[in-house]
Amino acid sequence: MQYVAVVAVAFGLTFLAELPDKSMFASLVLGTRFRPSWVWVGVASAFAMQMVIAVTAGQLLTLLPHRIVEFVVAALFLAGSAYLWWASTRPGSHEEADAARQGGPPENFWRVAGTSFAVIFLAEWGDITQLTAANLAARYNPVLVFVGATLGLWAVAALAIGVGAKSLRSIPMTWIQRITATILLAFGLYALITAAV
C-alpha cells in the first residue's frame, strides 16, 4: 500500500504543478499546430527523460548526510511553494497559451515528435516538477517517484494536447498554482521539522 501512496503523491503533485506550467502551454500550442498523437510521443519522451534526470539527482542527494538532505529537501519544497505563490499573483502570466496557427513545411512524424521533444526537454530544466521529483526521490523509492511523476506529466500533456486552448482557459490556473504551493509548503514544513528533530 505504501508503494501506491508514493506513486499517488508523485502523480498528484506533478500533475498539479505542471498544469499552470510553460511546458503545458507549449504542449497545447504544439497540439494545435500538428497531429496530436505525434506531438504527444515527443512530449512524453521528453518528460520521461527529464524524470530520469530528476530522480537520479534526488538519489545523488541521498549520498549526503541524512540531516543535510532533509534541510535541502525542505528548502527546495519551500522555495517551490514560494515560487508558485509568486507566479499565481503575476498578471497575464498565462497568456502563453494564446498562439495562432502558422504555416510551415509539411508534417512528418519524426519532425513533429523531434520538435516536440526538443521544446519540452529544454523547457523542463530546473522546472518545479523536476525539483519536486528530485525531492521526492531523495526520500522515497526513486522508481515509484519516477512512475508517478512521469504519469502525472503525461496526463497533463494529454489534457493539454487533447482538450485544447479554449477549454483550458476556463480552468482558474491561479487556484491550481496556490493549491500546489500549499501542498509543497506542507511537505517543506514537514521536512524541516524532520530535519530539526
If you count them, how many residues does the chain have? 197
CA 124/CA 4 separation, integer angstroms: 26
CA 197/CA 192 separation, integer angstroms: 9
CA 132/CA 17 separation, integer angstroms: 9
Average pLDDT score over the chain: 76
- Whether residue 168 is predicted with pLDDT greater than 60 in this model: the reply is no
CA 143 to chain centre: 17
Q: How far apart are the first and last CA of the chain?
A: 27
Closest to 128 (Cα-Cα) out of 170, 71, 168, 188 = 188
Helix (H, G, I), strand (E, B) or coil at 66: helix
Half-sphere exposure of 17 (CA within 13 A, CB side): 30
Tell me the pLDDT tens digit for each residue of 123-157: 777 677 887 888 888 888 889 999 999 999 999 88
Question: Residues with Cβ < 8 Å from 188, sequence gap 6 or more?
Answer: 73, 74, 75, 76, 77, 78, 80, 81
Per-residue model confidence (pLDDT) at position 173: 61
Per-residue model confidence (pLDDT) at position 86: 79
Q: For residues 64-86, give the mean pLDDT.
A: 73
Closest to 40 (Cα-Cα) out of 117, 110, 108 = 117
Closest to 24 (Cα-Cα) out of 119, 103, 104 = 119
Tell me the pLDDT tens digit for each residue of 34-60: 788 888 899 999 999 989 988 888 877
